[in-house]
Amino acid sequence: NAGVTQTPKFQVLKTGQSMTLQCAQDMNHEYMSWYRQDPGMGLRLIHYSVGAGITDQGEVPNGYNVSRSTTEDFPLRLLSAAPSQTSVYFCASRTVASANTEAFFGQGTRLTVV
């Protein structure tokens, strides 16, 4: 059981470049989300989805796009990378059957924008 898989683990981008962070889960979870982790800021929600075709913005959505065409995949796109997007990104999935279910996290993508 793979759980939540994120790729790549590390990435260096130049300012203005675009890229897609991949996230896949094999638990048939309805809910998927992207967080960024910065020192002293905890995890901040970027975008989330409650099912295929349904996405919504979190706390810090600017500069990021998402789509959800399947239950399994939830890619995060950076259209024009900026140094402020240097961070560690985590994808998480969760069933929405109850508010007390566990969220499962990927191993993270460490992104540096130069």
Q: Could you list the residues that contact other proteins (CB under 8 A)? A: 4, 30-31, 33, 35, 40-45, 48, 50, 58, 90, 92, 94-100, 102-103, 105-108
Distance separating alpha carbons of residues 67 and 63, to the nearest angstrom: 14
Pick the closer one to other proteins by CB: 17 or 73. 73
Q: Which of 34, 44, 43, 41 is nearest to 6 (CA)?
A: 34
Strand (E) or helix (H) holding 35: strand 31-38
Pick the closer one to other proteins by CB: 16 or 53. 53
Minimal distance, residue 96 CB to other proteins, in Å: 4
Pick the closer one to other proteins by CB: 19 or 103. 103
Minimal distance, residue 71 CB to other proteins, in Å: 13
Q: Do residues 8 and 88 touch, judged by C-beta distance below 8 A?
A: no
First to last CA, the chain: 36
Pick the closer one to other proteins by CB: 58 or 63. 58
